[in-house]
Structure formats: C-alpha cells, structure tokens
Structure 1
Amino acid sequence: MGTSLTTEFWERFSVLLVVALAMTAILTAVFTALFDALTARLRGHRSHGTTPRIPHQRVRDDRPAPAHH
C-alpha cells in the first residue's frame, strides 16, 4: 500500500512553505519593531545616546599646597 507523492502535493507543499516563511519574516519584523519601541519607552526615551552625568568625587590630596612667590 505504498502511496506516491504527486505533483499536486509538491505544488501545495511549496506554496504553503513560501507562505509560512513570508508570515514568519513579517511577524518577526513587526514584533521586533514593537519590542524596540517598548524598550525605548521604558528606558525613558534615552535612545539618542546621552547618559546621565555622574559627579566626580574629589579625592583628598595629602600633599602640601604649592607655595606661590
């Protein structure tokens, strides 16, 4: 009872495969864009590359002050 795969099967298989690949690519692009937008919003719109400044702490210097003439 062997059944052979017909040309109709391969035609439908190839069409469904192409449709599945296209849907995967489209959905990946959509969800990636949405995730990037959500991440930028949660980070406080700091997507332009600026970082908050950290104030410098002065280190105590034990050397004597230079003498001015």
Structure 2
Amino acid sequence: MGTTLTPEFWRQFAVLLVIATAVTVVVSAALDALVLRIRARRTSQRPSVSPVVRTRRPAGRTPVHH
C-alpha cells in the first residue's frame, strides 16, 4: 500500500515551499514596518516633559522646631 513520491510531487512541493517562504517574509516585513510607524507616531505625539527635580530628604524623622 506504499505510494511513491513522484518528481512532479517534489517539484510542486518546492514551488509551494518557496511561495510560503516568500509570503512569510513579506508579511513579516510589512508588520515590522507598521509597528515601527506606529511607534514613531506615538513618540512624536508625546508632549515634551520637563525633567523632574528631586530633592534628597533625610531617611529618619525630621526634628520639629517650636
């Protein structure tokens, strides 16, 4: 009941494999470009934030002056 794989099968297999690989590469590149475009748009729309100035406080309780 064994079947032999004909040269035509391998030819069609190779063609389909090449097509599937090409489609995968193209879709991946398109999605990468889309993500990069979305990220660039988000960073350009963000308002510039002024740097936060932090002061150091002592670790313990501060003495209360009366």
Which TM bucket (shorter chain)?
Answer: 0.5 to 0.7
TM-score, structure 2 as length reference:
0.67
In structure 1, distance between residues paired with 2:54 and 2:31: 43
Q: CA RMSD in A?
A: 2.2
TM-score, structure 1 as length reference:
0.64
* Matched letter for residue 51 of structure 2: I
* CA offset digits 1:11-51 (Å, max 9, x no partner): 0000000010011001100110011101221x2317xxxx7
In structure 1, distance between residues paired with 2:29 and 2:15: 21
Alignment: residue pair count: 55
Partner residue in 1 for 2:6: 6
| Higher share in helix | 2
Partner residue in 2 for 1:27: 27
* Greater RCO structure (CA 8 Å; 6+ sep): 1
**4+ residue stretches of structure 1 with deviation over 2 A?**
55-60
- Segments of 5+ residues of structure 2 without an aligned counterpart are 58-66
